[in-house]
Chain A
Amino acid sequence: MGQNQQTKLINIIGKAEVEITYDAIVVGSGISGGWAAKELCEKGLRTLLLDRGRNVEHIQDYPTAMMNPWDFNNRQESEAAYRSENPVQSSVSNDTNKHFFINDKDHPYIAPKPFNWVRGYQVGGRSLTWARQTYRLSDLDFEANLKDGHGTDWPLRYKDIAPWYDYVESYVGITGQAEGIPHLPDGVFLPPMEMNCIEKNFTEKVKTHYKDRFVINGRAANLSKGWLGRGPCQYRNLCDRGCPFGGYFSSNSATIPSAAATGNLSLRPHSIVSQVIYDEQTGKAKGVVVIDELTKETFEYHAKVIFLNASTIATASILLQSVSKTFPDGLGNSSGQVGLNLMDHHSGAGASGEHEQFKDK
């Protein structure tokens, strides 16, 4: 993924485009949208990749990536005015990366039951700011609801999805170590980042006390060695500013440049998809309606293949707005369940302790 390949990215702004029909349309350019665009382009489909936010070009649009702490007006501390205007985003963002998060004032939250839904409206979405932890599901997950007697059984098992995991990991580059734990399957790993002395000590202690508990290296989309022209990780711990070394996986550093390299990609930033157009004659979705974020003009784009990768809430929202005669309550919402049952992301649970040894390390 060199600079030269990125220049093949086509940016359509305003009315300049003449083409309205593509082989495929992908809505959203975050982790899954970037992947969809790469796969479709590499299979030879002329693909339109839409994102509601501005373009973020790998390296050149990471304005804070090379700044020192003293280069920031307030030494990386977020301003009180920013925090009070952005109660949700400011809980995870700071002065060094706030340009990759939305503004709560422009995009307010109505949350009678509190939930956290962090949003990043730009090309690359939250793939720029994600925490990069990457684990495989196993049959423990795929069979859990069946065993507990809830819901509908998953139509697939681990063996069906394992080859796709291999394929994705071989491209992304995951640092980790094979452990042979049945319910946390091993993957295709780059070398692990070595544990420090207290971590090694803890691992040994747990092993001597428990047969069924494992302390393992985190598996993360950070490149412990150079991979497909990206990385390696420079251990700066500044990932969420965007990495000029391509040290971690993002749409911007990896999938979008790969998609662009095929010559089949058209990227249209500032494109808010308001609905999917349903064709009553053919009984299929035939395109999307786009509102230009800057000019507020409305465009239609058509394709046989449409991927919605706008993140969970926005994807549900687009489906609910895609009202037609056949789908009066929203496309794919004959169950009435679209937009309900949001399960928030749990994080931050854990335990900590103090240890007296290794004070000289």
Chain B
Amino acid sequence: MNRRKAIFSIFLLGGAGAISYSGLTWYQHAKTPDFTFLNNNEALIADLAEVIIPATSTPGAKDVMAQKTIISLVKQCADRKTQNNFINGLRDIMKYADRKFGKPFTSLSPAEQKMIVAHFQEEGRNFSGTSGKIKNKLLGKSFFEILRYYTTVAFCTSQSGANNALAYNLIPGKYISCINLSPGQRAWATK
């Protein structure tokens, strides 16, 4: 058990702590999500998504306009907790970029952006096993987990992502049970 997990476990056990904590976080998770803020930060979301799936010889997140899909998915499909975690996460990213580099996230170099996202990845890493499930249930998924999930969905299900970066075929027509993978072979776009 690592330090974070140990602290979280104490949190779960400590009755008084848990009650005062849940009162505070309940508001953070249950409040009406600030969609205006979400809509106004399309450029930030585009940069964040590009860190997750950068353009190489194949398209990246920005090429498929992942930010527009992410915003729509957060608004239409995510539950309230996830919506607030994502929006609060965007605010945290802005603050952290300012504190660390004195500049907005969108003005940073790709390397600096990557460093910030890596920080949030580490911070948002969930615990393994039951305490991880309890944490997700109580607090929802972390900002990074939400960002990575919706970026992946937005990219893999986009026309360009599916066809130009991955392998897509609406009607495969046959099933080949086993083939040798060749180097650089594209993964299947659909599950």
Contacts and interface: CB of A to CB of B under 8 A. Distances in A.
Given A195-B177, A361-B181, A74 B76 contact: yes
B16 interface: no
Interface string A195-208: 11101000000000
Given A74-B77, A75-B73, A77-B77, A194 B175 contact: yes
Interface string A90-116: 000000000000000000000000000
A360 B77 contact: no
B157 A76 contact: yes
A301 B158 CA distance: 52
Contact of B175 (A74, A75, A193): A193
B24 interface: no
B79 interface: yes
Residue with the greatest number of chain A CB neighbours at <10 A, chosen from B171, B181, B189: B171
A193 B154 CA distance: 32
A73 B72 contact: yes
Nearest to A194: B177
Interface string B165-191: 000101111110111110000000111
B22 to A, nearest CB: 22
B185 to A, nearest CB: 10
Contacts of A81: 76
A216 interface: no
Contact of B171 (A76, A78, A197, A236): A236
A322 B173 CA distance: 49
A79 interface: yes
Contacts of A74: 72-73, 76-77
A193 B76 contact: no
Given A77-B77, A195-B177, A70 B159 contact: yes
Size band of the interface chain B makes with A? 20 to 34
A235 B154 contact: no
A66 interface: yes
A282 interface: no
B78 interface: yes
A87 interface: no
Interface string A53-86: 0000000000000101110011111111101000
Contacts of A152: none
B108 interface: no
| Most chain A beta-carbon neighbours within 10 Å: one of B76, B156, B158 | B76
A274 interface: no
Interface residues of A, number: 26
B175 A235 contact: yes
Given A69-B190, A196-B178, A236-B172, A80 B159 contact: no
Contact of A236 (B158, B162, B170, B180): B170
Nearest to B64: A70
B73 A234 contact: no
B153 interface: yes
Contact of B77 (A79, A197, A236): A79
A116 B169 CA distance: 34
A357 interface: no
Max chain A Cβ within 10 angstroms of own Cβ: one of B73, B79, B175:
B175
B179 A70 contact: no
Contact of A80 (B79, B168, B178, B179): B79
B178 A197 contact: yes
Interface in A310-361: 360-361
A234 B157 contact: no
Nearest to A77: B77
Contact of A361 (B73, B174, B175, B179): B179
Nearest to A360: B181
B131 interface: no
B41 interface: no
A360 B180 contact: yes
A10 B132 CA distance: 57
A92 to B, nearest CB: 16
A77 B181 CA distance: 30
Interface string B69-89: 100110011111000000000
A360 B178 CA distance: 10
Contact of B177 (A75, A77, A83, A193): A193
A301 B22 CA distance: 60
Contacts of B179: 361
B177 A196 contact: yes
Contacts of B153: 75, 77
Nearest to A199: B177
8 contacts: A66-B170, A74-B73, A75-B157, A78-B77, A81-B76, A194-B177, A195-B177, A361-B180
Given A74-B73, A81-B76, A196-B178, 15 more contacts: A69-B158, A75-B69, A75-B153, A75-B154, A77-B76, A77-B153, A80-B76, A80-B78, A80-B79, A83-B79, A193-B175, A193-B177, A194-B175, A234-B171, A235-B173
Interface of A: 66, 68-70, 73-81, 83, 193-197, 199, 234-237, 360-361
